[in-house]
Structure 1
């Protein structure tokens, strides 16, 4: 019987193997770059990846996120795509970094913008690594050196040289090429994710003065909310100002929410990588954990503070607008109550006038009713030999009353039909 697979099963298995790094056999030389690549540049990236340095074309699927390509017998090229970044690595066995020049030149033309570029020198023993230290030209005051997994020692000042690359030196076999490859991968990922996390700091530093201004404006508007009277003009102007503040804060949150969220995620991954390296400090040197935490933690606290301040200001603005809307609604209800009282007074006056009109109408109706009866009585008394005028008026009066009654009924029906 065949297995009924979950539609995501194979994707999940591939995900677990995506971050596989090439084995590193010391001595070795590596060059790694991490690029920020826009969506529009992804197709150009795949086209470039299909023909590395003029070698035979490789078939790369559109959804593929990892590739390990053998350029020569001892030169390999690694490509890995993340959500917004791409990591590319050139690896050669031996100490001849010059053999990577053509591949590195091709890598430097990759689509996107470089976030971090590092040249990594791996030696099998610490003594051999110390012989390379003078060529590294590390800045003594910034030098970081410590032991990491399985006794591997590292040196770096994490500065950018004239060629645009940083330098890092490693010494140790660490249990074989596969284990050393995983250590190199973790060490490089720490630096890569640290730089990606720090991408959120410059926008925060740039927006801090604007956030301070918005906070001061909100404080002034909130103070006005308690001081202003009930004039409609004051409330309308205040509502306009508060709405403008809310719109500005919504714009800032929309423009920076992704970067702030990514910064938090990258910082968490960098912290995880720092723990897995099992760093052991060395006397006289700052360790990798000291270097990372001294720079990364304050930056992340700044970004976190900015995000929290922005959220609190938005909440305060919403509360102020809600309070102002409540006051406006209360004023409108008071106005409606005054209007109802005015209408009630008007209805009372109309009722009294209607009662007066009805009383006068009774008198008028009585007068005309008596007149009509008088006409009919005179006509009856004059019949048959009396005054012909009285007879005619007496006969015509009931017909005229009936005719007027019918005419009024027709007019009333027409009016009722027109109002339906």
Structure 2
């Protein structure tokens, strides 16, 4: 029986996902060059982000006559002879890690002049202009020295005054300064004192991830700094609007006309709607960048914990350096996010308050209109009752006139009838009959309407 037919369609790809990005297998000594290429927005080119990065990788493979990965691949590894290449595709960037085995004839202090990047075609490197967000060199060296005695050697390799280092990975020592050196690359030195199999690859992989995720996390900082003045302006506009709302309350209690009150409330509602649109635009523009940076920051913290650092006397560890430099930057982004959310909540409350006031004003105006309609209806009823009284008189007059004509005709027929007496007797009877008939008609219409 073919049991593969019983599988869920996603079982195989989901199982492969956890193995899709293995660490490099490194044997001391090794030299590495690491690039992270930022993915341009899809609207800037005719290619989607993955196609952009595959095109760059295909150009490099084509130069060496090597078949590239399939179009949906997120990971690629190949030994090009003079160097090995590991390529990974991420959501916002793609990484290229070039690895070269170093001969023992080259001292590790001179290793930064003998890197695998020299084997990469310059035309391909020139085509990366404007895309590189991270560039780092790593030297993996076998060492039996104590870390404390290496500090003077590190001063030769790193030109900055700030030196960061620690024992890491239960058998390795890591050195860096997180600065971009004059050659345009940051530098890492890893001494293999007693690293077990695959530990060197895992250690250097975590270091490169820290460097990459650190930079990607900091992408939100310029955006946060640019957002703060805009938030300040919105806060000032909101404060001015609230003062105007308070002044409007005082004007409502004054002798200002209802039309003026309605116009003022409508103007305030337009203003607060505009402020709400501005804060919503900022939230939309910043939402993805800030949330992504927080995710990268979490990854940096996770990778630092995985290093299991031990202190080198007098030298700050990577965790301390990140806590002092990276954490405040991320706190700035977090504070801007919270400030946006708080301001949006305040605007929403002000908007609800103003809409409630507008609703109350509309109800007051509607009440005035209804009172006016009631007064007009009462007036129309009085007029109608007066008209109905005249109608009774008029109808009675015509009926009595008919009775008079009939009585005169009967008198002319020599019947003993006095028309004047008959009209006088019938006048109140006719008037009462007409009034009673109209009253019954009104009651009948009223009961049918109910």
Distance (Å, rounded) in 2 between the aligned partners of 1:150 and 1:375: 134
Matches within 5 A, 1:33-112: 33-38=35-40, 39=42, 40=47, 41-52=49-60, 54-72=63-81, 75-94=83-102, 95=106, 97-103=114-120, 105=122, 106-107=124-125, 109-110=127-128
Give the length in aligned residue pairs.
382
Instruction: Tell me which residue corresponds to 1:204.
Output: 224
1:279-313 deviation per Cα after TM superposition (whole angstroms, max 9, x unaligned):
11211212111111111111111111110110010
Q: Which ranges of structure 2 fall in alignment gaps of 5 or more residues?
A: 253-260, 415-450
Structure 1 position 98, deviation (Å): 4.8
Say if 1:85 and 1:175 are closer, same or farther in 2 by CA, change over 3 A.
same
Match of 1:118 among 136, 149, 171: 136
Instruction: Tell me which residue corresponds to 1:29.
Output: 31
Q: 1:197, 1:267 within 8 Å by CA — same for their partners in 2?
A: yes
Q: TM-score, normalised by structure 1?
A: 0.85
Structure 1 position 196, deviation (Å): 0.6
Instruction: Tell me which residue corresponds to 2:159.
Output: 138
Bigger shift: residues 130-139 or 45-54:
130-139
1:289 and 2:319 matched: yes
Distance (Å, rounded) in 1 between the aligned partners of 2:181 and 2:322: 20
Structure 1 position 22, deviation (Å): 1.7
Where 2:120 maps in the other structure, the secondary structure is helix
Structure 1 position 227, deviation (Å): 2.9
Instruction: Tell me which residue corresponds to 2:276.
Output: 246
Structure 1 position 331, deviation (Å): 1.0
1:257-297 deviation per Cα after TM superposition (whole angstroms, max 9, x unaligned):
00000011000011000100011121121211111111111
Distance (Å, rounded) in 1 between the aligned partners of 2:77 and 2:126: 18
Structure 1 position 88, deviation (Å): 0.7
Where 2:72 maps in the other structure, the secondary structure is coil
Instruction: Tell me which residue corresponds to 2:354.
Output: 324
Q: Which ranges of structure 1 fall in alignment gaps of 5 or more residues?
A: 385-420
Structure 1 position 352, deviation (Å): 1.1
Q: 2:171, 2:195 within 8 Å by CA — same for their partners in 1?
A: no
Match of 2:182 among 155, 158, 162: 162
Instruction: Tell me which residue corresponds to 1:363.
Output: 393
Q: TM-score, normalised by structure 2?
A: 0.80
Matches within 5 A, 1:206-225: 206-225=226-245
1:206-258 deviation per Cα after TM superposition (whole angstroms, max 9, x unaligned):
11111112112212222332331331222122111111110000000001100
Aligned-residue CA RMSD (Å)? 2.3
1:350 and 2:350 matched: no
